Amino acid sequence: NMASDSNKGLVYSASLDNNGIKYVVRIQAETKGGTLSNADGKLTVKGADEVVFYITADTDYKPNFDPDFKEPKTYVGVNPEETTKEWMNNAVSQGYTALFSQHYNDYAALFNRVKLNLNPAIKGRNLPTPQRLKNYRAGQPDYDLEELYFQFGRYLLISSSRPGNMPANLQGIWHNNVDGPWRVDYHNNINIQMNYWPACSTNLNECMLPLVDFIRTLVKPGEKTAKSYFGARGWTASISGNIFGFTTPLESQDMSWNFNPMAGPWLATHIWEYYDYTRDLTFLKETGYELIKSSADFAVDYLWHKPDGTYTAAPSTSPEHGPIDQGATFVHAVVREILLDAIEASKVLGVDKKERKQWEHVLANLVPYKIGRYGQLMEWSVDIDDPKDEHRHVNHLFGVHPGHTVSPVTTPELAKAAKVVLVHRGDGATGWNMGWKLNQWARLHDGNHAYTLFGNLLKNGTLDNLWDTHSPFQIDGNFGGTAGITEMLLQSHMGFIQLLPALPDAWKEGSVSGICAKGNFEVDMVWENNQLKEAVVHSNAGGNCVIKYADKTLSFKTVKGRSYRIEYDVTKGLIRQ
């Protein structure tokens, strides 16, 4: 329905035909000079010196963290006619200048936390972005463009994921139809997770909260899925989700790609990640821990306790790739991650010693990673990997990234086997895939290969407006790219802060400020001639800080609110000032 909204505006009200969600859009014009008329559903402005159009929109949807599904209005909350009217009156009363100032201050408060400068003496030309991309694809260096791409990912997350709203979906907020590719949904087998890889590391903790709320909406329906499908405690989700608590496998679909009961535990690892970056003990105690604990319980119950005493995942898949298996590496890697998170969380809170003992027992007896006949980290329980396979999903490297159970530091042989996989898979594929492999090469401390993946992502997986292409447009590659650049400069997933762990030769000089490490540390760095010059660590939560660079280690206690300057000398190592 469309109607006049006072003599200056129009109001559109409607509802979606498949689920009845009500939505309202209001448009109002404010003019300086000239005339404004409103007739037959049209606003007409003549002879004005200036016209400002104000737009407000809302739906009647509200998240429900405890749905019982007996009430047909389970996800219905506000009246969008009332909310949009209130917002409109408020906006018009303030005027354009005040609204713009509010917007800028709100946005800049997040965006300006991080600065990145690569090869400051060598800048790109002041050309339109499509031309710069064209030149970059032809091999012309443009470090300014690389900085822009990094910050563009942060802009996208700030703009599409703020507290109180829904998380960024496959297209962020930039989809222009009611329906679209993959139903514009939340794909839980990497896509929504990848959207949030850069959140905490690039100093955007607030942007993580919509994902936390989304996960909370999945728990109660996910408990029914866990029990009815798998006879398990806890909760889980499946390959596709939505804002109405959908947690089951897709109906009438091929289970070789659609079967992913570890989607729930993977999501739950982000709960621990948020705590680990923020060290918000109240969040962990009141919100996070139960989500992690119940997810770990599901993982334990899902596993098969074999006669030899080991635990394996049967049946299991490597999502979207390969056969049904009796122990897919991906599933075991996710189980390891959620159990480690649950163990650590229970220790932090000093609770659930009995449950912790069970988690530790299962973790110790989980079927180990295996290296195959090509020297590769095996994707399945049997050695059937094909070195010519260049499939876009590299699920079995979950332990490298986003997990932390495979690392050059702690498991060098497994890390070497992971490199074999990445070499086999190649340096191409879809945009989001190159974003993932960029992070994995960074985690393997190969900066030059990570830079190759970043270059390929920009050249071959990026549209002229810098959006990631699958194709069609899919935003996760942008977020994966931004996260990967951060991983090249700083890593903290192994219990210490590693400075410049995957710095490529191409980034000879540079500086970065405001990127974050777990433990709630902010880090600034300057490097010259591909070598760290100095770093400043800002401690936002106190606690012990362990810094590693090259083969040197520096450990010191910190005080909340204090900053610590560190210099690097080739002969003396890391020196705290």
Topology annotation, domain 161-411: Glycosyltransferase (1.50.10)
Placement of tokens 């609204």 in the chain: 99
Continuous segment of H or E residues that includes residue 108: helix 96-111
Q: What is the mean pLDDT of residues 442-449?
A: 98
Per-residue model confidence (pLDDT) at position 1: 86
Domain ranges of the chain: 2-94, 161-411, 510-576
d(CA 195, CA 207): 10
- The DSSP code for 382 is S
490-491 vs 311-312, strand pairing mode: unpaired
d(CA 168, CA 369): 33
Would you place residue 79 in the very low, low, confident or very high pLDDT band (cuts 50, 70, 90)? very high
What is the largest distance, in Å, between two alpha-carbon atoms of the chain? 85
The pLDDT assigned to 175 comes to 87
Which pLDDT score, from 0 to 100, does residue 158 have? 98
Write out pLDDT tens, residues 323-345. Answer: 999 999 999 999 999 999 999 99
pLDDT for position 410: 96
- Band the pLDDT of 242: cuts 50, 70, 90: very high
- Residues written for the chain: 577
Does residue 128 have a pLDDT over 80?
yes
* Closest to 54 in 3D by CA, of 15, 1, 5: 5
Query: Do 203 and 522 form a contact (C-beta atoms < 8 A)?
Result: yes
Helix or strand (DSSP H, E) at 525: strand 521-528
Cβ count within 10 A of residue 483: 28
| Burial of 444 (C-beta count, 10 Å sphere; 0-12/13-18/19+) | buried
Read off the pLDDT of residues 309-323 as tens digits, 9 standing for 90 and up: 999 999 999 999 989
Please tell me whether the overall predicted TM-score, pTM, comes out greater than 0.85 for this model.
Answer: yes
Instruction: Please give the CATH topology (third level) of the domain spanning 510-576.
Output: Immunoglobulin-like (2.60.40)
193-208 per-position pLDDT tens digit: 999 999 999 999 999 9
Give tens-digit pLDDT for 391-401: 999 999 999 99
> pLDDT band at residue 124, thresholds of 50, 70 and 90?
low
pLDDT at position 18, please? 84
Which amino acid, 17? D
Question: Rounded to whole angstroms, how far apart are CA atoms 115 and 550?
Answer: 24
Q: Helix or strand or coil: residue 512?
A: strand
Return the top range by mean pLDDT from 125-134, 170-179, 406-415: 406-415
Q: Please count the other Cβ atoms lying within 10 Å of the Cβ belonging to residue 391.
A: 17
What are the tokens at 313?
């995942």
Do 398 and 337 touch, CB atoms closer than 8 A?
yes
Angle at 209 between CA 203 and CA 212, to 5 degrees: 130
pLDDT of 257 higher than 80: no
Mean pLDDT of 141-166: 96
User: What is the three-state SS of 545-572?
Assistant: EEEEECCEEEEEEECCCCEEEEEEECCC
| Residue 403 burial (10 A CB sphere; 0-12, 13-18, 19+) | buried
d(CA 311, CA 304) in angstroms, rounded, equals: 5
pLDDT for the residue 180: 81
What mean pLDDT is reported for the chain?
A: 95
In this structure, what token pair is assigned to residue 420? Answer: 């074999």
Give the closest residue to 296 by CA, choosing from 366, 399, 246, 229.
366
Q: What radius of gyration do the chain's Cα atoms show? A: 25
DSSP run (H or E) holding 270: helix 263-278
